[in-house]
Structure 1
Amino acid sequence: MRHTELTMGRTFALAFDDGDNFTDELTKFCTEMNIRQGIIPMFLGGFRRVALVGTNGPLADPDAPVWEETVVHTVEAVGAATLAWSPESNSLAPHIHVAVGRKDLEAAGSVSHLLWAEVQFIQEMVLQEVTSPAMLRPRCGPHAVPTLGFAQRADGENL
């Protein structure tokens, strides 16, 4: 396990509008506000369409990550995320998980990693900027999964 103490910066409340591309708007906001890292303790609202990591059928290797996408329509959603910097792509790398319930199937649910989403009516979010240490998302392990890490000084201590 990795751990570090975080120094928090600004806190924002965001309200996404009907039809917004959730991930594009979040990335655009972070770029405009010069946010390179942070946490999203919660967001909630509706999605017209949401793409989640998932597949239909048995997994070829249950120990390997799943990269396939499944799209769910007309859902209520609640989620959380970390925002870190990808040294590989030199860009913001959000890691967003969401629990969604379909409105047309008695709130039948799915929980997974969010890839993209189209807002339906509203999404409300709290975003907290992290000013230090540098939070990075390098690819790690046997499957090269983007994983949260923290910048360290030469002596091994977190910056």
Structure 2
Amino acid sequence: MKYTEANLGRIFILRLEHGDRIPDVIEGFAIDKQIESAIVHFLGGADTGSKVVVGPEEGAAATPRPMVTELLGTSEAVGVGTLFLNEQNKHKLHLHAAFGRERETITGCTREGVQVWHIGEVVIFELCNTTAKRKVDLETGFELLETE
């Protein structure tokens, strides 16, 4: 385990609009408000056609290919994630969410694009005074969190 410390900074409360796309809208807000590190909570609805990463394909490949699935109906959603700069100082949201419709639930990463369905509430807790950053791991190709 590796770690670094941080201090709590500003707290932002966002009401997303119907059709807003996660991660784009959250990363764009972070750029506008100069948020470099944060904890992100999401609650609301996801529209039909939203795409989530639901795991890597099985196998021993050095860089596993992601499995992507599409939501087949409007779904309830709840998620939590982190936002950090990568090596190019680009804002990168890593948010996992669970999407439920009737008795079916899909859980995955929102990086492929989740469209908000009418209700999208986000709370962003800014983290200050931290060295944490996303860096590409040469073995897996993933942008992993590094604490230096």
The structure whose RCO (Cα within 8 Å, separation 6+) is larger is 2
Task: Trace 1:52-71 onto structure 2 (pairs within 5 A).
Answer: 52-54=52-54, 59-61=58-60, 65-71=64-70
- Percent identity of paired positions between Structure 1 and Structure 2: 28
| Aligned pairs, number | 145
Which aligned runs of 4 or more in structure 1 are off by greater than 3 angstroms?
Answer: 60-66
- Corresponding residue for residue 76 of structure 1: 76
CA RMSD of aligned residues (A): 2.2
Structure 2, unmatched stretches of 5+, are none
* Residue 72 of structure 1, CA deviation: 0.9
CA contact (8 A) 1:37 1:134 kept: no
Decide whether the 8 Å contact of 2:22 with 2:110 is kept in 1. Answer: no
Deviates more, 1:4-13 or 1:60-69: 60-69
Q: TM-score, normalised by structure 2?
A: 0.87
Q: Residue 54 of structure 1 contacts residue 66 of structure 1 at CA under 8 Å; is this kept in 2?
A: no
Q: Is the Cα contact below 8 Å between 1:81 and 1:94 reproduced in 2?
A: yes
Q: Is the 8 A contact 1:53 1:66 kept in 2?
A: no
Return the index of the structure with the highest Cα Rg.
Answer: 1
Letter paired with 2:97: V
* Residues 51 and 117 in structure 1, CA contact (< 8 A), matched pair in contact too: yes
Instruction: Give the SS at the match of 2:34.
Output: coil
The letter for the 1-side match of 2:52 is: L
Q: What amino acid maps onto 2:75 in structure 1? A: V
1:47, distance to aligned residue in structure 2 (A): 0.7
For 1:125 and 1:118, locate their aligned partners in 2 and report how far apart those are by CA, in whole Å: 14
Provide the residue aligned with 1:154 in structure 2. none
1:145 is aligned to: 142
